[in-house]
Structure 1
Amino acid sequence: MVIHYKCADCGADMLFNSDSGKISCDSCGRHDDVNTFPKEFISREFSEDEAVEYQCKNCGAVIITDADTTATTCSFCSAGVVLADRLSGKMAPSKVIPFTISKDKAKEAFKKWCKNGRLTPKGFMTADRVKSITGMYVPFWLYDINSKGKVDAVCTKVRTYTRGDFIYTETSYYDVQRSIDLNYLKIPVDASEKMDDKLMDKLEPYDYSDLKDFNTPYLAGYIAEKYNYDDKELFPRVKSRVDRYVDSYIDSTTSQYSSTDYKSKRIKTKQKETHYTLFPVWMVCYNYNQTDHIFAMNGQTGKIVGKPPISKGKVAAWFTGIASVSMITLQIVAWMIGGGI
C-alpha cells in the first residue's frame, strides 16, 4: 500500500519539514501537525505485487523498491511515499526521532566540516564534489538492560616509608566483594544489514528528549528502511557493549587500591525491554579523485563521521614541523645545560 499526504488547500503532495516539525506543502506553504493530519487527505493505493513493486498514485509511475524499503520518493514526480504495509505488525516502529536538520543545512554543515580537515587534500576541502545527500531513517533497537551479580577480588594497598637508613615497602592485602545491580536504558544498536555498524555507533549520542511515538507522516519525503535483525538476534552485540560498561563500573569501585586481582565475576545480564526506533541520518556520497567517499551525519545533532582522504604532502609537512620543534627544544636544553643561562 502506497500512502500520499495531500494538501487540503491546493492538493499538492506534502512532506515532513525538519525545521517546523510539521508536515508541509511546498506549493502553498500549508503546515499540518503530524499527529492530527486530516485522514480525508491521506491517499492510499494498493498494489498487486507488494513485494518489490508499487504504483505512484500521483503520476502513475511504477516505484521499484527492495524488500527492506518502507519509505521513498517517486523518481518521476518526486512525491514522498510511505509503504505502509511494510510498517505494520512486527515491522511497526514504536518510536522515532524526527529530522531536525534540513537538506540545505546538512549540505552547509558538511561543507564546513570538509574545510576544517587539517590533513585532507585542498581539493577535498572545497567540498564541491558532493555526489548525493540522502535523508534516511535507519532502524535501531533501543535496549533496557539489567546486569546483576557478585564480584570477588584480592586487592592491595602499598605504602613506602623511610626509617633510618632503610626504605621499607609495606603491602596490605584485602579480600574485596562487590554486589552490583545496574540498569542501562535505551542502548542503541542499528538493525540494518546495509549500514556500517561502526559508522552508526560513531553517530551517537542522540538526544532522547526528542523521541516521538511513531507516526507515518514523519517519513514523508525521506527514505526509510525496516530492520533486518530482530532484538533477540542483536542481543549478543548489546550485551558485549554492556559488559564493558559493567567492567568499567566495577573497576571504579576499587580505584582506591594499588592493585586488583579478580578471582571471580558472576554477572548475569538480562534484556528487560526493547523499542524498535527509527533514527534520522543524512548519508553523503562525495566523489573525490574518482573515488566515492561515504559519510554519515546525525540528522538530529549534526555530528559527522567518516574517513576523509589524507594528503601525503600535509602529513609529511606535519611530521617535519614536529621534528623541527623537537630539534629546537633539544638545542635550547643543550644551551641551558652548557651554561647559556
Structure 2
Amino acid sequence: MSDPIQDPTTTGPAPEPAIAELMATRCTSCGSQLAYAPGTSYLRCTCMSQVEIADAGHVVEQAYEAWARENAGQSPVAASVLRTLRCDGCGAQMQSANLSDSCQFCAGHLVAVSAVEGTVAPSGVLPFALDSSAAQAAVVKWVQSRWLAPNALKDVNGTEALRGTYVPHWAFDADTTTDYTGQRGEEYWEGEGEERTREVRWYSARGTTKRRFDDVLVVGTTTLSEKQLDDLTPWDTASIVPFQPGYLAGYSTVSYDVDPAAGLEKAKQKMAGPIRKDVEKDIGGDEQRVHSLQTAYANVMFTLLLLPVWIMTYMYAGKQWQVMVNATTGEVIGKRPYSPVKVTLAILAALAVVITLIVLFLRN
C-alpha cells in the first residue's frame, strides 16, 4: 500500500495516520471474537453469547446542493485516507482505508466506529442475510449449471474461500423536469394491393415531462467490477437499516473511492433511459424522433449505503477469476473459463441438427 501523499509545501516525513477508534469485538463471557450473525440483529460468539445491536433510528439523507457548497463540489474520498487499526486481541497494528478489516496476525475483527473528517459516513447498511454455508451452496449450484465450463472447475467451490464484504453504494433521489424537442411520426398507406406501401408523416413536437427518482444506486468503488455488482441487482432496499458498526464485525468493508459528485453524474446516466422513454411516450404517434433534451434536477438527496457481497476469487489455468454472491438474494454473478472440447462438441451438435433439418426439408 502506498504511503500517504505529502504536501509539497512542507518538508519532512508525512504525519502518521491517526489511530482509529475501534469497536470492542471481544466477548465479555469468554474473550473470543464477536461477529455479526447473518439474518439477525445481534452479534454472536462461539460460546453462543449474543449482543443485541442497538437501533440507530433512521437512515439519514443529505441534500446534495448543501454538501456541494460546503465541500466546493468535492471532498477526499475515504479510500485515499489511511488509518492505523490496532487489534485488541494481539495488539498488532495495521494501516487500512477500510471501515472494517481482519487482523493480519490473529484474524481478529477490526471495525472503525467513526468516519474520517471530511469524508461521508455511511448512513445505511443492508445486513448479511446469507451465511457462508448458504453462499457456498449458491456458488456450487452456479458452477454445476455451467456445463460448458471445464470439469476441473467443479472442484473449485470446495477449495476456495468466500470473503464477506460490504460494498459502498451511493443512493440518489431527485425530481427531474425535462424540456424536449422532437418529431411525432404517424403512419399512413399509399397505393393499392401489392403496390401498397407504408409511409410516415412527421410533425414537430415539443413539451415537458417530469419524473421523481428514488434510490438510484451507484457503485461507490472502482476496486470491484461495476458491471458485476450492477448485475447482482435487485437489492432488498426495504431491509436496509440505519448504520451501526456492529453489522460490520466479521466482514471487510470497502471504503468509497467514487465521491458524491462523480456518483451523481453516474446516477444521471442511469436516469437518462427512463427520461427518454417518458419523452417518447409524451410525443406519442407511431414513431418518435427526439432532437434535444434539457433536464433540470431538483431536491437531489443522497446517502452512502453498504451492501453485502460474498466474493470468491480463484485461479484456473494460470488466470484469476472472480465470482460474487448477493448476500441477501443468493444471486450469483461471475466469470468462468470455457472448455474448448465442450464448446467444439456443442458446435458440432448444433451443426448436426441444422444439417438434419436441411436434409429433411429437401426430401419433402
Length-normalised TM-score, structure 1: 0.84
Alignment match, 2:250: 221
Q: Match for residue 234 of structure 1?
A: 263
Deviation at 1:171, TM superposition (A): 4.1
**Which letter maps to 2:113?**
A
The number of residue pairs the alignment matches comes to 320
The answer (yes or no) to whether the contact 2:184–2:285 under 8 Å persists in 1 is no
Report the Cα distance in structure 1 between the residues aligned to 2:354 and 2:193, rounded to whole angstroms. 43
Aligned pair 1:10/2:30, yes or no? yes
What amino acid does structure 1 have at the position aligned with 2:94? I
Corresponding residue of 1:32: 51
Distance apart, 1:291 and its partner CA: 2.6
2:172 counterpart of 1:152: no
Cα distance in structure 2, aligned partners of 1:267 and 1:157 = 26
d(CA) in 2 for partners of 1:166, 1:134: 66
Distance in 2 between residues matched to 1:181 and 1:128, nearest whole Å: 48
CA spacing shift, 1:334–1:266, aligned 2, 3 Å: same
Alpha-carbon distance between aligned partners in 1 of 2:108 and 2:326, rounded to the nearest angstrom: 24
Q: Equivalent residue for 1:339?
A: none
Deviations 1:83-104 (A, max 9, x none): 2244677442100000111112
Alignment of 1:65 with 2:95, yes or no, is yes
Q: 1:56 to 1:165 in 2, by over 3 A?
A: closer
Q: In the alignment, residue 84 of structure 2 is paired with which amino acid? A: E
Partner of 1:41: none
Match among 323, 326, 336 for residue 354 of structure 2: 326
Bigger CA drift: 225-234 or 317-326? 225-234
Task: After the TM superposition, list the runs of 4 or more consecutive aligned residues in structure 1 that deviate by more than 6 angstroms.
Answer: none
The normalised TM-score by structure 2 is: 0.79
Deviation at 1:229, TM superposition (A): 2.5
| RMSD value, Cα | 2.6
Structure 1 residue 256 displacement after superposition: 4.5
Task: Write out per-residue CA displacement over residues 141-171 of structure 1, whole angstroms, 9 at most, x where no aligned residue.
Answer: 1111232122222222223366589636564
> In structure 1, what is the equivalent of residue 60 of structure 2?
none
Show the counterpart of 1:104: 133
Change (3 A) 1:7 1:36: farther
* Change in 2 beyond 3 A, CA 1:52/1:89: closer
Q: Does the 8 A contact of 1:142 with 1:186 survive in 2?
A: yes
C-alpha deviations, 1:208-234, integer Å up to 9, x for none? 111100001000111112222221122
8 Å Cα contact 2:280/2:290 also seen in 1? no
Partner of 1:262: 290
Which one-letter code corresponds to 1:334 in the other structure?
L
Higher strand share: 1
Give yes or no for contact 2:310–2:327 (8 Å, CA) kept in 1. yes
1:190-339 pair list within 5 angstroms: 190-254=219-283, 256-257=285-286, 259-270=287-298, 272-336=300-364
Give, in whole Å, the separation in 2 of the partners of 1:165 and 1:85.
76
Sequence identity (%) = 20
Question: What amino acid sits opposite 2:343 in the alignment?
Answer: V
